[in-house]
Amino acid sequence: MADRIPETPFALISGSAGWGVRFPDDLDQPGIAVVSRGLVFDTPWGATDNWQLIEIAADLTPDGKPRRFLNVFTHGWPLDAIDHSTHRRVAWVLQQAGARKIVADSTCGSLNKALQPRDFIIPVDLIDFSQTQYSLLAGRFKHVCLSEQMFCPALATTLQTVAEKHWPAPGRVLGHGKQIVVTHDWGPRFASRAESRAFQLLGADAINQSICPEANSAREIGACFASASYVVCYEPGIATADDDIDAIHRDLAMPASRISLQAMVEASLTDECGCARLRVQRPPDYATVAQGGRRG
């Protein structure tokens, strides 16, 4: 039997940034408790599993009140199959939960020689040619989603402030001021040398397999979204580095996980960022057809 979706405005989508870490247990942070784990939720497109509900004690939060946040493992991807529509099920769950502030952590490959392995990046914009391939919007004429601000500046500021306290040298923390643009491939195949060069020429600085679909889905449910990612390699043909990807994971999974957790602790619920206004409900008359009736 599927579990009931808990209500909470906060959500963390865990990705490869923290693979190998028992989250949040291995962080051993006082005031953090797992309320329930192993949760499975039904959606209109099938079940989504590997969820947990985590509680933050009142003495840790900015408003002095306890808060809970939903957390899903590895972007909601199934462990035994390849499914590119997963982010739609995850976003639907978060919509039912009333999520307003979403952080997703991940790793990425660099398309820019200036972005080095071990750098922590908080992107400001995206290039996504797949766009809303698996949309969860209820019809073409009901809503329109604007894209001038795909990543929340307020959440980005929170992430940068937290990361600057926890991210180890020699890696740098690069926030919205660096104007980093990310792009997306579905995976699990990595980008080819020619694809990497093409994305670089189009203006992308980094690439991974999750950021863009999650940003699109967050916009569709009217939530703020920020990405917390770190560079593990240069993409083919961009540059060379001596770092070993697995070694980088081992070194950085714990601080990355700590940053994600602390972002959930410090995130503000204010709407001054303006993200919610970028999901616009269209007037009903837009659905009027030539015969005078309405559809949708």
Largest CA distance in the chain: 66
Contact 11, 69 (CB under 8 A): yes
pLDDT computed for residue 284 by the predictor: 82
Residues 117, 248: contact at Cβ < 8 Å?
Answer: yes
Task: Say if residues 95 and 43 touch (Cβ distance below 8 Å).
Answer: no
- 3-state class (DSSP) for residue 163: helix
Q: What is the pLDDT of residues 47-59, one digit of tens each?
A: 999 999 999 999 9
Reported as a single tens digit per residue, the pLDDT across 250-290 is 999 999 999 999 999 999 999 999 999 999 988 888 777 76
pLDDT in tens, 158-197: 999 999 999 999 999 999 999 999 999 998 999 999 999 9
- The DSSP code for 294 is B
Q: Is 129 helix (H, G, I), strand (E, B) or coil?
A: coil
Residue type, 113: K
C-alpha 267 chain-centroid distance: 14
Mean pLDDT of the chain: 94
Q: What is the rounded distance in angstroms from the CA atom of residue 19 to the CA atom of residue 227?
A: 16
- Rounded (10°) CA dihedral 33, 15, 39, 47: 160
Q: What's the pLDDT band for 1 if we cut at 50, 70, 90?
A: low
Q: Are 141 and 222 in contact (CB under 8 A)?
A: no
> In angstroms, rounded to a whole number, what is the distance separating the alpha carbons of residues 5 and 56?
18
* Rounded distance between C-alpha atoms, residue 200 and residue 232, angstroms: 17
What letter represents residue 77's amino acid?
Answer: W
Q: Which domains does the chain have, with CATH numbers?
A: 10-271 (3.40.50.1580)
Distance CA 61, CA 39 (A): 25
Give me the pLDDT at residue 296, please: 54
pLDDT of residue 295: 55
pTM over 0.85: yes
